[in-house]
Amino acid sequence: MFIPAKGLDYRDFLDALHQQLRFDWYLEVGSQTGRSLAKSRSPSIAVDPVFRIKYDVAGNKPHLHLYQATSDDFFAAGHLKALKAKPDFSFLDGMHLFEYLLRDFINAEAAGKPTSVIAMHDCCPFGHAMTTRDIDNIPRGAWTGDVWKLIPILQDYRPDLTIQVLDCAPTGLVVVSNLDPKNKALTKAYDKILARYTNLTLADYGVEKYYSSFTYVDPIKLANDGFQTFRPAARDYIPAEKPLVAPEPPPPAEPVNIQKTTVHNVDLYSGHRVLRDFGNDLARCITGPLPEPVDVYVGVHVIDRPLDTGRFKIGIQTEQYLDKTGQPMWRIPKERFRQRHATFYDVLLDFSADNAPAYDFLPEALRAKLVFGPHIFPEGPIAPDFQPTPPVFFGALNDRRRSLLEKLKADRPVEVAPHGTFGRPLDALIAQQGAVLNLHFRDGTYSEYPRFLKAYLRGKPVISEPLAPPLQAGTHYFDLAARPTEVATAQIFRNLATFAAQHSFPAFLADALGRTRLRKAG
């Protein structure tokens, strides 16, 4: 039986580690986009055969050295000796075949100090498929390869090492200390180890045997105890101002109960109250029948598959996968689910072009079904309903939103809708207030269009943290410091009338029908 790692995400652990500890040298193998590398605040050395840097990896470091090479070539070239660098902390996340990680471990240990620490990622798989060595047939979703073998290998051939397996989601973090840079046991046994382990599968080794060979260590407790395992390797220790806690998860999903709203010849299906509210707002934007009947599924992530009605099907993907910087916002569904979304519908609408990289893996025929943009607004202008009353916030509360609300309330009154306010009661509450307040659930720059549409349809401006383009502060919404006036609100709504006409829901529906006919004919 697999025992998945379900604790603190390994990236959050590394972030907390680098916030509190400074090393003379940090070595990272397998940096690729730079997401984990960006967390280091120490002099750093990063190795990857093909960098695809998307993060600010240099801004918080005294110096950084990037080597675009395989780790074998990097170590063989003697770059560490040239830099006179002995890595105090090495994070190994390169090729997911055990012999590569074994060589990286051998080389990193030999290059370090007795006080150094090495961390290895992806050694705790949660399914057999993800452990394959067949790199030409890697499964969709997570792939750990067979690096799980490092744990029994080190246990057998290096019993002198201290091995801790951290319960870091999603696939564990193995931390090895009490190193001996002069120890050659693994090098001498390398061929023997390969002969013994190369063709050994986890099923053959025994899943229960594997998971019974260690006990998960709580990464939050390790962090709050001052990262004692890592302290001997660190040059400086900066205690945290407050204890590390697990990030608050999004509210639990509501049981799916598909309901239908019909307007003219358009049926809108939605799976829970928030999406039904949004579906009802979309319905208000439809003013006449389409050339043929259409089924619209609002929130494809909560719908198993659309009904077989024989009608034209449009799916609306409402989740924000990535913000405008490429930072992941929510847990992105596995590729097979994203492929299902594109397969089941004639057209798939995703509000945000920032999500486009999440579909890059799709074949061209499925990518052709994708439309990006906030095409959800009414065609005609909406008159503003200005009232000199406080703004209203509605939605799930987490620590981030509560903190922002407290700061705002110290400066001005804010109405907060009771939890679970939807439909007509929410509409009535919005009607009494001067604006709708938008606060992001997580850090990032992205746009929450269902909330924006609800405010617009009811003549209320939005006061918000920064939203992603094409929305612009001062043109389409007020920033958090603004005090809306009647004149300023009227100008915002004139701008929004142009924006809405460019992103109207009826025009999108008609265009989706037309472009699909052309695609199928061609």
- In the prediction, which pLDDT does 336 show? 82
Q: What is the mean pLDDT of residues 20-33?
A: 96
Domain ranges of the chain: 10-237, 259-376, 391-502
pLDDT band for 521, please (50, 70, 90 cuts): low
pLDDT, greater one: 315 or 419: 315
In order, the DSSP letters of 291-358 are: SS-EEEEE-GGG-SS----SSEEEEEE----B-TTS-B-S-PPPHHHHHHHHHH-SEEEES-GGGGGG
* Token pair listed for 403: 């903190």
- In the prediction, which pLDDT does 16 show? 96
Q: How many CA atoms lie within 13 A of 468 on its CB side?
A: 22
- In the prediction, which pLDDT does 250 show? 53
- In the prediction, which pLDDT does 325 show? 79
Q: What span, in angstroms and rounded, lies between the C-alpha atoms of 452 and 376? A: 10
pLDDT, greater one: 386 or 254: 386
Has residue 169 got a pLDDT over 80?
yes
Q: How many CA atoms lie within 13 A of 193 on its CB side?
A: 22
- In the prediction, which pLDDT does 247 show? 67
* The CATH fold of domain 391-502: Rossmann fold (3.40.50)
- In the prediction, which pLDDT does 401 show? 92
Low-confidence winner among 238-247, 349-358, 486-495 (lowest mean pLDDT): 238-247
Strand residue runs (E) in 82-168: 89-92, 117-121, 162-166
According to DSSP, the β-strands at 216-217 and 162-166 are parallel
Low-confidence winner among 143-152, 333-342, 433-442 (lowest mean pLDDT): 333-342
pTM of the model: 0.56
Quick one: what percent of the chain has pLDDT higher than 90?
75
Low-confidence winner among 104-108, 289-293, 512-516 (lowest mean pLDDT): 512-516
- Tally of helices (H runs) and strands (E runs) in the chain: 18, 21
- In the prediction, which pLDDT does 59 show? 86
Q: What is the mean pLDDT of residues 69-94?
A: 97
pLDDT band for 419, please (50, 70, 90 cuts): confident
Q: What is the mean pLDDT of residues 248-260?
A: 63
Q: Which CATH architecture does the domain made up of 10-237 adopt?
A: 3-Layer(aba) Sandwich (3.40)
Cβ(174)–Cβ(150) below 8 Å: yes
Q: What is the mean pLDDT of residues 480-495?
A: 96
Has residue 520 got a pLDDT over 80?
no
pLDDT band for 256, please (50, 70, 90 cuts): low
* Token pair listed for 389: 């009353």
Low-confidence winner among 35-39, 116-120, 141-145, 274-278 (lowest mean pLDDT): 141-145
**What residues contact 28, with CB distance under 8 A and at least 6 apart?**
36, 37, 40, 44, 45, 46, 47, 90, 91, 93
Dihedral angle, C-alpha 202, 14, 190, 195, nearest 10 °: 10
Has residue 255 got a pLDDT over 70?
no
Write the Ramachandran bin of 481: left for phi over 0, alpha for psi from -120 to 50, otherwise beta.
alpha
pLDDT band for 35, please (50, 70, 90 cuts): very high
pLDDT band for 145, please (50, 70, 90 cuts): very high
In order, the DSSP letters of 460-486 are: --EEES---TT--BTTTBEETT----H
- In the prediction, which pLDDT does 49 show? 95
Dihedral sign, CA of 305, 310, 316, 321?
A: positive
CA end-to-end span of the chain: 50
DSSP character at residue 176:
E
Choose from 136-150, 223-237, 328-342 the range with maximum mean pLDDT: 223-237
pLDDT, greater one: 272 or 28: 28
Has residue 252 got a pLDDT over 80?
no
Tell me: the pLDDT tens digits for 358-414? 898 889 889 999 999 999 999 999 999 999 999 999 998 888 999 999 999 999 999
pLDDT, greater one: 221 or 271: 221
Q: What is the mean pLDDT of the chain?
A: 92
Asked whether this chain's domains 10-237 and 391-502 adopt the same fold, the reply is yes
- In the prediction, which pLDDT does 422 show? 86
pLDDT, greater one: 213 or 358: 213
- In the prediction, which pLDDT does 176 show? 98
